[in-house]
Chain A
Amino acid sequence: MSVYESFNYPEVTYPIAKEMGLTEGEFEGAKNLIGRNPNYIELGIISSMYSEHCSYKSSRVHLAKFPTEAPWVVQGPGENAGVISVDDEGLCVCFKVESHNHPSFIEPFQGAATGVGGILRDVFTMGARPVAAMNSLRFGSLKSAKNRYIFEGVVEGISHYGNCFGVPTVGGEVYFNDCYNGNPLVNAFALGVVQKDRIFLAKAEGKGNPVIYVGAKTGRDGIHGATMASAEFDENSESKRPNVQIGDPFKEKLLLEACLELMKTDYIVGIQDMGAAGLTSSSFEMASKSGSGVRLDLDNVPVRENNMTPYEIMLSETQERMLMVAKKGYEDKVKEIFDKWDLDAVVIGEVTDDGYVRLTWDGEEVAALEAAPLADEAPKYNRPYSRPDSQDLLQKTVKTECPEDIQGVLLQLLANPTIASKRWVWEQYDHMVRVGTVQLPGSDAAVIRLNESDKGVAISSDCNSRYCYLNPYEGGKAAIAESARNVAVSGARPRAFTNCLNFGNTEKEAIMWQFATALEGICEAAKALNTPVVSGNVSLYNETEGTPIHPTPTIVMVGVIDDVTKRIGSYFIDSSSTVYLLGENTGHVGGSEYLASIHGKELGDAPAVDLVHEKAIIEFMCEAADQRLVNAAHDISEGGLAVALAEMTFGAKEIGVTVKLESELAADALLFGENHGRVILEVSNVNAAAVEKLAEKHELPISRIGRTLSDRIEISADGRKLIDIKVKDAEDIWKNSIGKIMK
């Protein structure tokens, strides 16, 4: 009896392939590709590599349209994470955002925790020490106990993992909308620092070089996780809980230190994180990228459970593991470093040159597949799409009656969990460890000082999915424009972004239309603002029982600031300053938070983005920051002008504001409308003339709308007082809303 036979695997037929998530066409294609019927181990490998999660089969055609190049881009998409230059002396940052949506719905704490763990590994695999983490989170309404449970679990999972690992979680975004009821979104971002000449890639080069397995022992957790993440949810999804991996942040912290210590030496050739589809994707990707081959002796893989089979070992998604290729002869040196950190480092195979990944057990080959075709020639679908007729109804202009009690509306909006302070969330995250967080959470972007220098980066995560639902094209543009604007109002120049494209099932034409159209918008805005994409991922099938989420292409924009002491916060810092509005109020109510939460209508067209105007705002803000002309700046987004003004008074200093507006717009449209391209500025009187001149230079409309004053928020329009409330009273509502709901 051969070794393979001793495992008693079932005979490979289409029904088995279907169970693993392959279509009949894909199964037949795979058979043609390898020229025979795959065995059971090989089938498991093929189905994982062909999963949407690993192959991007539905999205690759469209992703190819993204701009990916700029002089400051050091590493674009295709590696574990992207890299951009921060200065001319080799200082770089490495970053990526990735989804962990499906696991977080099934098991919120571990799902979110391992999402953080995975993205941190992506960053330090490149040789970068993680210095900032962020999250984009979306949940159903907190009125539901189930959603509160998911929200609480996700936040605790992120807190547990990031805090123990020792990376500051410096902000992010949290939205609540019923479209995420059965399908929350957890997108985890991490950014690390690396010198340009110390970046490591996923290479398996040099015949005879040892392949070394490092980190945690392999268990049975997460087998076929990538396949699970590539299907819609149904009522049985919760029975898939064993597919969710368990995270150990302490182990990962050790892995980080050991890897970074090793990377200071020249013992290693390449390194790859074992993420989705574990040992399968890491070995196939490394071999295919280098055009080499790999032999893995699977019975040497450290395991933590008895009787694990080759199939289980290849498909396990146990966390905190890496695969690396070392230089021959340096095995003991590598082991020495891992010993110091009490971690396993075991030689499990070697680099070959025949293009195959060959798996052995007890010295006998049990599976052999050619690497490159599986990694690079996975199925690619140009799925059909069309704009659904129902879109017309959604986008029709809505008429609303302007409420009498404008102040009451403001207070309701401030209490709305999407707008309210996310303090309850970020106080659970250690957001200051590594002493680099020079702009604390709550501002428009986080600002991180790098390596104890004055240089830094600003990071903002944004996507208004309601805009994308109503108008995917303008919504896609808006995600780029808003994230870039948030970075710029913090004093940094937006340089590049990473994205996480969360959509429903693109096998449906209407969803595919949302996907293709939103991507067009993203591409156009990214080109106009000269901010290429450097990394990202795609999460499809975000549907539960046929109901899709709103299209949610999360954008995380990274900007560079040469001197972090020039950063700009979004809270008023002085009284008697001049308050300016940069941009103009057009009173666009369609798609607004006001319309949705006060009138219960997710309707109307999304506000359009003028990219020339957005570019001018970025240039204006970069110059204003450099010349230290602005005390505070805040982008106007959800909740409109009134919410933005109120938020600026909620800083440590409790400085009020008196604003007098003149406008023909209805009071609700004026105060709560959400047209783009607007920033509120606090400017010391001595700088007022310079700021006005700078706006003129960039052809930006600017108007003095008020002053910072006393301890009240007072807003009037055309002589009629609409808002008049103590800062403290408004702030209490905004600050404590989520905490009260979660009590």
Chain B
Amino acid sequence: MKAGVVVFPGSNCDHDCYHVLKHVLGVDTVFLWHKDTDLQGVDLVVLPGGFSYGDYLRCGAIAKFSPIVSEIVDFANNGGRVLGICNGFQVLTETGLLPGALMRNRDLKFICKYVNLRVDNSDTPFSRMYAAGEVVGIPVAHMDGNYFIDPEGLAKLEDNNQIVFRYCDENGECIPGTNPNGSLNNIAGIINENGNVLGMMPHPERSAEGVMETRDGYFLFESIIKAIGGAA
């Protein structure tokens, strides 16, 4: 398996994703420069967190027009696996690979902290190492993570079991007080209908090693390796 981590100007979790994939999970990993159009034969594309192009317009809005992203759209449409974390999730909604939009946090402040997530769908290539309903601790760090979608779209996501992660309390209850940013239905991460593109606001790469507060994020990456390894 080979993974590629996209580098936009302003990406700042690119090194972290590269580190976890390469050094912690031992995956052959390369950086993909935003001006390039060659995906170098990767099996997984990671769109990392950060502030692509400064995010001065709307998060992810400029990244959508970069040369590498049009290649990624084709890659995804052909079944390639794409993981968008934080700013990467924003880029995915801007390109239309995932439905909905990420608005400014409810309290209008940047928020960085560990949150509890409930794994609502453990039957995806990104979450198969978790148990359904399992509660995991993974940190968020964003200004615009307030997920919004129209009622029909939301019903579709719910009906298709496309909501992979939801903010919850330590017992897995998705009560309002556990929602850090105002997302509809406590949505923290969703997958596309085809099940090959996942976007999530929390940062699994930040909790993937024993020395961190938790190691719960590790299993997301391990899920992908298992999924791709199995397919190859």
Contacts and interface: CB of A to CB of B under 8 A. Distances in A.
Nearest to B139: A432
Interface in A317-376: 341-342
A428 B143 CA distance: 9
B110 A430 contact: yes
A432 B203 contact: yes
Contacts of A565: 211
Contacts of B109: 156, 159, 427-428
Nearest to B14: A166
Given A432-B206, A440-B213, A452-B19, A427 B112 contact: yes
A165 B12 contact: yes
A434 B211 contact: no
Given A435-B206, A438-B211, A429 B19 contact: no
Contact of B212 (A163, A429, A438): A438
A250 B10 contact: yes
A434 B23 CA distance: 14
B10 A253 contact: yes
Interface in B42-84: 49-51, 53-56
B16 A164 contact: no
A432 B208 CA distance: 12
B9 interface: yes
A524 to B, nearest CB: 37
Nearest to B15: A434
B175 to A, nearest CB: 18
Given A164-B51, A250-B56, A452-B23, A429 B112 contact: yes
B10 A341 contact: no
A564 interface: yes
Interface string B4-41: 00000110110110011001000000000000000000
Contact of A427 (B55, B113, B143, B213): B113
| Residue from B110, B112, B208, B213 with most neighbouring chain A CB atoms (10 Å) | B112
A622 B206 CA distance: 28
Interface string B194-208: 000000000101101
B181 to A, nearest CB: 12
A428 B111 contact: yes
Contacts of B1: none
A571 to B, nearest CB: 12
Given A165-B12, A253-B9, A342-B9, A564 B211 contact: yes
Interface string B111-134: 111000000000000000000000
Contacts of B139: 432
Interface in B84-143: 109-113, 139, 141, 143
Interface residues of B, number: 32
A435 B16 contact: yes
B136 to A, nearest CB: 15
Contacts of B23: 452
B110 to A, nearest CB: 5
A435 B20 contact: yes
Contacts of B53: 250
A431 interface: yes
A417 to B, nearest CB: 18
Contacts of A159: 109-110
Contacts of B205: 435
B112 A449 contact: no
A160 B143 CA distance: 10
A427 B111 contact: yes
A17 interface: no
A249 B51 CA distance: 10
B9 A166 contact: no
Nearest to B109: A428
A254 interface: yes
A433 interface: yes
Interface string A224-240: 00000000000000000
Contact of B211 (A163, A165, A257, A449): A449
B103 to A, nearest CB: 18
Interface in A284-314: none
B69 to A, nearest CB: 17
Contacts of A429: 110, 112
A440 B207 CA distance: 12
A517 to B, nearest CB: 40
B141 A432 contact: yes
Nearest to B16: A435
A664 B177 CA distance: 47
Nearest to B203: A432
Interface in A151-186: 156, 159-160, 163-166
A166 B211 contact: no
A164 B141 CA distance: 11
Contacts of B15: 434
B177 to A, nearest CB: 13
A427 B140 CA distance: 10
A565 B209 CA distance: 12
| Residue from A248, A426, A432 with most neighbouring chain B CB atoms (10 Å) | A432
Contact of A434 (B16, B111, B209): B16
Nearest to B35: A340
A382 to B, nearest CB: 47
B183 to A, nearest CB: 17
A358 to B, nearest CB: 36
Contacts of A166: 12-13, 50-51
Contact of A435 (B9, B19, B55): B19
Contacts of B51: 163-164, 166, 249-250, 253
B9 A341 contact: yes
B56 A430 contact: no
Contact of A430 (B141, B209, B211): B141
A163 B16 contact: no
A100 B47 CA distance: 35
Nearest to A456: B211
B138 to A, nearest CB: 11
Contacts of B55: 164, 250
B9 A430 contact: no
Given A433-B16, A434-B15, A435-B16, A254 B9 contact: yes
A428 B112 contact: yes
Contacts of B111: 427-428
Interface in A427-467: 427-435, 438, 440, 449, 452
Nearest to B208: A435
Nearest to A129: B15
| Residue from A250, A429, A564 with most neighbouring chain B CB atoms (10 Å) | A250
A128 to B, nearest CB: 15
A441 to B, nearest CB: 10
Nearest to B7: A257
Contacts of A163: 51, 110, 112, 141, 143
Interface in A454-497: none
Interface string A411-428: 000000000000000111
Nearest to A454: B211
Contacts of B56: 250
A198 to B, nearest CB: 18
A159 B110 CA distance: 8
Contacts of A250: 9-10, 51, 53-56
A235 B59 CA distance: 40
Contacts of B12: 164-166, 253, 433-434
12 contacts: A163-B51, A165-B12, A166-B50, A248-B54, A249-B54, A250-B9, A253-B10, A426-B112, A428-B109, A430-B112, A432-B112, A433-B16
List of 9 A-B pairs having minimum Cβ-Cβ separation, nearest first: A166-B12, A250-B54, A164-B51, A430-B141, A435-B16, A430-B112, A432-B206, A428-B110, A159-B110
Interface of A: 156, 159-160, 163-166, 248-251, 253-254, 257, 341-342, 426-435, 438, 440, 449, 452, 564-565
Given A166-B13, A440-B213, 4 more contacts: A165-B12, A166-B50, A433-B49, A435-B20
Interface of B: 9-10, 12-13, 15-16, 19-20, 23, 49-51, 53-56, 109-113, 139, 141, 143, 203, 205-206, 208-209, 211-213
